[in-house]
Copies of this chain bind each other. A is one copy, B any other.
Amino acid sequence: MSRLKEQEMDAYIASHQQEILEELTSFCAQPSISAQATGIQEMHTIVTAALERRGFSVETISTPTNSPVIIATAPGASRKSVLFYNHYDVQPPEPFEEWITPPFEPSIRDGRIYARGVMDDKGHIICRLAAVDALRAVYGELPCTVKFIIEGEEETNSPNLAGVIHDHTEQLKSDLCLWEFGDVDTSGVSMQYLGFRGILYVELSAQTAELDAHSGIWGTLLPNAAWRLTWALSLLKDQTGKVLIPGFYDQVVPPSQTDLELLAKLPMIPDSDVQQLGAQNFVQPFRNALDQYQAAVMSPSCTICGLNAGYQGDGPKTIIPARARAKLDFRLVPDQTPEEIAHKLRRHLDENGFSDIQMSILGSENPSRTPTDHPLVQMVVAAAADVYGQPQRVLPMSGGSGPAHLFTEMLQIPIVTVGVGHPDSRIHAPNENIHITDLINGIRHTARILARMQAD
């Protein structure tokens, strides 16, 4: 690898900041809200044109949901290849009144660009495209094959992505996948997340009658859906946070020595982070970062996300609720699977006399991991140190979930996170934004990764 060429790329990127921001602005000005089926076709056209302008051969795979998936390829000098996974849809912009400038009128203030989707995920598409431009300008060609898979319904849980990957396995196979996002922490240190927790999202519901009944007349005679649900929920997790479903932890792979070493190197999550949410304390006192991160990302969780039964207005209403409902998510770690956990949950309810509790699965993703000692992961981490001027912080897992397992399982490739976000990017919220500095650094990092793919 040539440090000189990489510095030439940095100079090229810096001198083309204006064009990069203009292309990003044109992307963000087009609404593309998958949940509301708004602007999807138009955005697909814009992205396709941006790829074709750069000589990519572009294939559009239509879906029953009318959110086409784009697969694009451009050849490079080495036999190596990199796959970019991104999405061109965005979250709904509501509530509009909380935006300082309108969500689809990108605005630059104090070194940040504000727009719906500027971080999630259009800034990342532009980051990848600008890196391609810089490589070609400096090297005269791409150092490795570059592939894109860009879907238009990530924000509605990627219902067609698995099928598309399954049908295009050979075409998509690559040496390395850059995930749809990456970020720095509050102090500007670049972060690397090498895994995602899986998720099982269920709705549990009890129905004991058709009608709510008078609690005075029927209180001791009729079954009560809210009590049934409460008793069932109390069988799922104890006050220490331990999940009580038999076999829940059977498939959990304990953290490796390397995992523990990586976690121990992280700074502690400060109390101020929980206080910003209005909480007084963490759920339990943590002695150090290792404890915190073992709980936060290396362990599975069980969260009640919502409860609903009977009367919820002001004052008293004396009824026995006929129906009660809870929404729960289980975050899973390797090698737990949503199917396995759903099965164990159902059996646990049945064995405790709660076969009347209905269970609907509202979402599921497998967990996924990329090995920390993979040579390409080490290369990405080293490149980050060069771009950001200090060592990248590596987490063996992140707490969130996503379709990463489709890539690690079906394509068998390592996934790294590289990108333009920061902790106050406000994704899925009003005033979504990125720093221009983070955008430029994300492009420099991406370009270095592609450049270094030619080396071995």
Contact, CB under 8 Å: B156 / A279? no
Q: Is A418 an interface residue (CB 8 A)?
A: no
Tell me the complex Cα distance, A219–B333, Å.
13
Neighbouring B residues of A304 by C-beta, 8 Å: 224, 226-227, 230, 309-310, 321
Q: Is A22 an interface residue (CB 8 A)?
A: no
Q: Is A4 an interface residue (CB 8 A)?
A: no
**Could you tell me the distance in whole angstroms from the C-beta of A375 to the nearest C-beta in chain B?**
28
Most buried by B among A94, A219, A222, A430: A219
Q: Is A36 an interface residue (CB 8 A)?
A: yes
Tell me the complex Cα distance, A208–B303, Å.
14
Tell me the complex Cα distance, A407–B325, Å.
41
Neighbouring B residues of A277 by C-beta, 8 Å: 209-211, 213, 218, 222, 322
Q: Is A246 an interface residue (CB 8 A)?
A: no
Interface string of A282-309 (1 = CB under 8 A from B): 1100000000100110010111111111
Contact, CB under 8 Å: A214 / B400? yes
Smallest CB gap from A226: residue in B:
B304
Neighbouring B residues of A64 by C-beta, 8 Å: none
Partner of A401, one of B157, B199, B216, B315: B216
Contact, CB under 8 Å: A307 / B305? no
Q: Is A313 an interface residue (CB 8 A)?
A: yes
Partner of A318, one of B199, B229, B281: B199
Contact, CB under 8 Å: B279 / A208? yes
Given the known interface contacts A211-B430, A219-B399, A221-B295, the answer about A305 and B331 at a Cβ–Cβ threshold of 8 Å is no
Q: Please tell me the number of chain A residues within 8 Å of chain B, measured between CB atoms.
A: 91
Tell me the complex Cα distance, A222–B217, Å.
41
Partner of A216, one of B36, B197, B209, B319: B197
Contact, CB under 8 Å: A296 / B329? no
Contact, CB under 8 Å: B226 / A314? no
**Could you tell me the distance in whole angstroms from the C-beta of A299 to the nearest C-beta in chain B?**
6
Contact, CB under 8 Å: A278 / B322? yes
Given the known interface contacts A222-B277, A304-B226, the answer about A400 and B310 at a Cβ–Cβ threshold of 8 Å is no
Partner of A283, one of B223, B292, B315, B363: B223
Tell me the complex Cα distance, A281–B321, Å.
15
Looking at A250-258, A421-429, A446-454, the stretch in contact with chain B turns out to be A421-429
Given the known interface contacts A215-B303, A278-B322, A306-B309, the answer about A317 and B222 at a Cβ–Cβ threshold of 8 Å is no
Contact, CB under 8 Å: A222 / B429? no
Tell me the complex Cα distance, A214–B241, Å.
17
Neighbouring B residues of A321 by C-beta, 8 Å: 304-307
Q: Is A187 an interface residue (CB 8 A)?
A: no
Interface positions, chain A 90-106, Cβ under 8 Å from B, are: 91-92, 94, 98
Chain A residues proximal to chain B, CB less than 8 Å: 34-36, 91-92, 94, 98, 156-157, 197, 199, 201, 208-224, 226-227, 229-231, 233-234, 237, 239, 241, 269, 274, 277-279, 281-283, 292, 295-296, 299, 301-322, 324-327, 329, 331, 353, 362-363, 398-401, 426-430
